[in-house]
Amino acid sequence: MRRLRRRSIGAPSSPAPPFRRMTNANIAYQRLRNQYLSEATFTKPQEVVQWLVAVQAQDFAGAKWSLGLRMQGATDDKIEQAFADGSILRTHLMRPTWHFVTPDDIRWMLALTAPRVHVANAFMYRKLELDQSIFTRSNDALGNALQGGKQLIRNELRDVLDKAGIATAGEFRMGYLMMQAELEGIVCSGARRGKQFTYALLDERAPHARVLDREEALAELARRYFISRGPATVQDFAKWSGLTIADARSGLEAIKGYFQQEVVEGQTYWFALSAQVTVTGDEYIAEVTVTYKPTAHLLSIYDEYISSYKDRSAIGDGRYAERLMAMGNALTYILIVDSQIVGTWKRTLKKDAVVIETNLFTALTEAENLAVAVAAQQYRTFLELPVVLA
């Protein structure tokens, strides 16, 4: 065991001395810690989502598991219940994809990030002949149909729009009509009906959502991003949030006094003053003691540990990233050992068990293989099903 020197953390007005010898390995381990992957302490799904601000969630099963990894005693059923009762919501924001977000945060995040998503969607709006007059009519029809706590699946809302004289036929038209309604704060997720997703009125699911002005929202998003995901660069923040570099820098400028910075290989990384951990070198100042023992994590490819950063060099060999891209994203999950990408995994649900198959990019030691087996057992507890590790 290597004991590292401890020191007290200064207040924002008296920033701590700079790190020495920060490396990609140090960056990766700090991210694991700040994202609560190295030590899960949350007990409720909404606590995880609130800490991470937003959690990418187009892969619903993978997103639930991402929350479960950061919780104590997590099960799929517990997270499904939080989704059903509206403790966590799912909607389009930040980038053109679904995210989990809390009812408290959903309004100000939509106001800040939806305009950029509309810009990204503009080509498809034109291609599908969707203009503001159609969106106004469709949003009015959706709002009327969902009033009074109704929660309807997409096909039921398709009928509503068709009856209102709004064409929904075509491969993408209905999807973009619903996304626009989400971005405008008309609808968000309701409880699932069986395996089908429903929509509900946002006003009814989040009646007490906070509203912030733009400058406050930029600062709030930057603060919570760098606390929960640091060390990270302003480019990482812009990529994750979907904001322009100018807006990302503006948000960081407003809160940078609460953070420390370090330049590594020409890039400036920002991180909270209290978020300091390392696993290498007695010269590196830290506030914690680390005992080495391999740890493994079975992550969704959309897990925030992966999707939160533009530059992922801290968490794996660049060749591995190329292999992941070649495989495609939808069903490719990522295997992490000691903060680094070492392969992929996939699950196959059977009637009475789940089979996990791994595809390793590099050979693992006996201790590392044992860590993967421990991670598989964590997944077993989450799904409440026996696991077969292939």
- Please count the other Cβ atoms lying within 10 Å of the Cβ belonging to residue 159: 13
Quick check: 2 pLDDT over 50?
no
Phi-psi region of 80 (alpha: psi -120 to 50; beta: other; left: phi over 0): alpha
Share above pLDDT 70 across residues of the chain, in percent, rounded to a whole number: 86
- 56-60, 200-204, 317-321, 325-329: lowest mean pLDDT where? 325-329
List the structure tokens of 314: 């801290």
C-alpha to C-alpha distances, 11 to 216, 259, 272, 275, nearest whole angstrom: 22, 10, 11, 13
Expressed in percent and rounded to 5, the helix, strand and coil fractions of the chain are: 45, 15, 40
Question: Is 348 part of any domain?
Answer: yes
Quick check: 378 pLDDT over 70?
yes
Q: What is the mean pLDDT of residues 82-98?
A: 97
Question: Is 275 part of any domain?
Answer: no
Q: What's the total number of domains in the chain?
A: 1
Which has the closest alpha carbon to 377: 363, 362, 350, 356? 356
Structure pTM?
0.88
Question: Is 361 part of any domain?
Answer: yes
Question: Is 141 part of any domain?
Answer: no
Question: Is 109 part of any domain?
Answer: no
Question: Is 216 part of any domain?
Answer: no
- 145-159, 252-266, 274-288: lowest mean pLDDT where? 274-288
Quick check: 5 pLDDT over 70?
no
Quick check: 250 pLDDT over 80?
yes
For residue 93, what pLDDT is reported? 95
Sheet holding 187-189, edge to edge: 152-153, 198-201, 187-189
At 269, phi and psi to the nearest 5? Answer: -105, 140
Which has the closest alpha carbon to 369: 351, 383, 349, 390? 390
Q: What is the mean pLDDT of residues 370-389?
A: 94
Question: Is 30 part of any domain?
Answer: no
Range of the domain at 380: 296-389
Question: Is 283 part of any domain?
Answer: no
